[in-house]
Chain A
Amino acid sequence: MARVTRHIEISQSTPSIGEGGHTGDWRSSRPVFEPSTCLAVKQGKLTCQICWAYCPDVCIAQGVPPTVDLDYCKGCGICAQVCPAGAISMQPETAHDP
């Protein structure tokens, strides 16, 4: 892996995916979608997407249903709070450990 020595004397970052590190490691609970409740799934089209709009870490991709990038999702739970259909629940990370 290339180790660049340029400007490591100061703190800086570039706007790119994963620049802040593997922030999915921070998560203690993860959002789980219930497709049968999701408005987009029920209507069969790209609608609602409120979870996508509210995710502060740009970890939700638009879709039917929207999908979460668990590599970087910190598990803040905002998507579950804003979902008008209650289709997203936050489940303890321990339940998903291998």
Chain B
Amino acid sequence: MSSTVVITGNEAAAIAAKLARVQVVAAYPITPQSSVVETLSKWVESGELSAEFVTVESEHSALTVCLAASTVGARTFTATSSNGLAYMTEQVWWTAGARLPVVMGCVNRSMAAPWNVLNDQQDSMSVRDAGWIQLYCRDNQEILDTFLQAFRIGEQLNLPVMVCYDGFLLSHTVMPVAVPPAEQVDRFLPPRPPGLQVVDLNDPRNVGPVTLADPRLDAGGVLHGGYMEIRHAHQEALLEALDIIPAVDAEFAGVFGRSWGGLTWEYALEDAEVVLIAAGSLGMELTLAVDELRNEGVRAGVLGIRTYRPFPAAHLCGKLAGRSLAIVFDKALSYGYEGPICTDLRAVLSGRAGVPKVFGAVTGLGGRDVTAAQLAEQARCAIADADAGVCQRPTTWVNLQRTDVTGQSESTTCSGRE
């Protein structure tokens, strides 16, 4: 029987790592992630967790230790946030390209400058192209469960998995979480299978040597891919994850009785004409906005992005076919353009018939509170624009409060559009 405890998202992450029987943890503290690895460190010290905890001088070294440990077969975990993730960036790419199933928590926090420790999703979105699987969680139970799934997914595909969850909103907020017994987790998550890296003293290898543009025959006559062939295999593995992630979620449901939707999750979506889209805990706020809109007779629903990389393109097309309007709420921005999920969704739907208009809104940057009422108001304005024949419009900024040089202030809930 699982026991239900009232814990923070960070505690849920630490418990998941312990239940996964991680063998090596290396981390550097950063708000709001710190308590994940502080908890693990405490357990390693007390003997409650049989693992190596490596203290390092930077996040770059933290992930370097993880990728090295993963190369020799260890189940490896770390967690970071914001500028810590940015400091890791080189090794974020290295870990993925070397096909190492490191699991990392990214406790989403804004990027400096200006300095700010609060939540948005700019950090993980900024490394979306590095070749990791990225999963976004909406509550603390999903955090625990997703980490357990992440090890299965990553180790099956030889891919690193970044489990993303909103800083403070989840990381430091307590809620009831069912903690499964270790034996049940062991059945779902056996020890790590052998990876692509061969560790055999009688057959020594150089892992990750310089790889030239073209394929080459090695001394034994084996054809090795050039850079493009190796990157293509990486891409194929990521696309395969679009099948593996839902399959693992279904298997998880069979063992633990909880399913998180695999690629996406939804709320009141079945007959929805207007679909509100977000990743992470913002999706939960959207469900409240949808309740409000439904009370007004608007057929609205929520489509939550759980898997952002690989991007579930075909799946999203299926979910959105026949709808009239999709409003994407991004907690990040590709500066100089628009929100990343919005861009990706537009690209997926481009050129298809019978798909909704896509409007984008940027919201909650640097911890700015986002209320269901504001989200509902955004939706009302978007619906009005769509009804007026607007097909595309600039990104709106939710709850932007500007003061000009004359001291006049202006608050935009939905007037940020031109």
Interface residues in B322-378 (C-beta closer than 8 Å to A):
none
Interface residues in B208-244 (C-beta closer than 8 Å to A):
208-209, 211-212, 216-225, 229-230, 233-234, 237
Asked if B233 contacts A8 (CB within 8 A), the reply is: yes
Which of A9, A10, A16, A18 has the largest count of B CB atoms less than 10 A from its CB? A10
- Which one of A9, A14, A17 lies within 8 Å of B237 (CB-CB)? A9
- Which one of B158, B205, B217, B220 lies within 8 Å of A12 (CB-CB)? B205
Asked if B219 contacts A1 (CB within 8 A), the reply is: no
Chain B residues, CB < 8 A from A1: 217, 221
Chain A residues, CB < 8 A from B211: 11
- Which one of B98, B204, B223, B234 lies within 8 Å of A14 (CB-CB)? B204
Asked if A11 contacts B230 (CB within 8 A), the reply is: yes
Asked if A13 contacts B221 (CB within 8 A), the reply is: no
Asked if B220 contacts A16 (CB within 8 A), the reply is: yes
Per the bound structure, the CA–CA distance linking A15 and B216 in Å amounts to 15
Task: Decide if A19 is an interface residue (CB 8 Å cutoff).
Answer: yes
Do most interface residues of chain A lie in helix, strand or loop, or is the interface mixed? loop
Do most interface residues of chain B lie in helix, strand or loop, or is the interface mixed? loop
Chain A residues, CB < 8 A from B196: 7, 9-10
Asked if A8 contacts B223 (CB within 8 A), the reply is: yes
Per the bound structure, the CA–CA distance linking A89 and B158 in Å amounts to 50
- Which bucket holds chain A's interface residue count? 20 to 34
Task: Decide if A4 is an interface residue (CB 8 Å cutoff).
Answer: yes
Chain A residues, CB < 8 A from B99: 9-10
Chain B residues, CB < 8 A from A21: 212, 216-217
Task: Decide if B206 is an interface residue (CB 8 Å cutoff).
Answer: yes
Task: Decide if B198 is an interface residue (CB 8 Å cutoff).
Answer: yes
Asked if B98 contacts A10 (CB within 8 A), the reply is: yes
Task: Decide if B203 is an interface residue (CB 8 Å cutoff).
Answer: yes
Chain B residues, CB < 8 A from A95: none
Interface residues in A11-39 (C-beta closer than 8 Å to B):
11-21
Residues of chain A touching chain B, judged by Cβ–Cβ distance below 8 Å, are 1-4, 6-21
The 23 listed contacts between A and B (C-beta, < 8 Å) are A1-B217, A2-B221, A4-B222, A7-B196, A8-B224, A8-B225, A8-B230, A8-B233, A9-B158, A9-B233, A9-B234, A10-B99, A10-B208, A12-B206, A12-B207, A13-B218, A13-B224, A14-B204, A14-B219, A15-B206, A17-B219, A19-B219, A20-B216
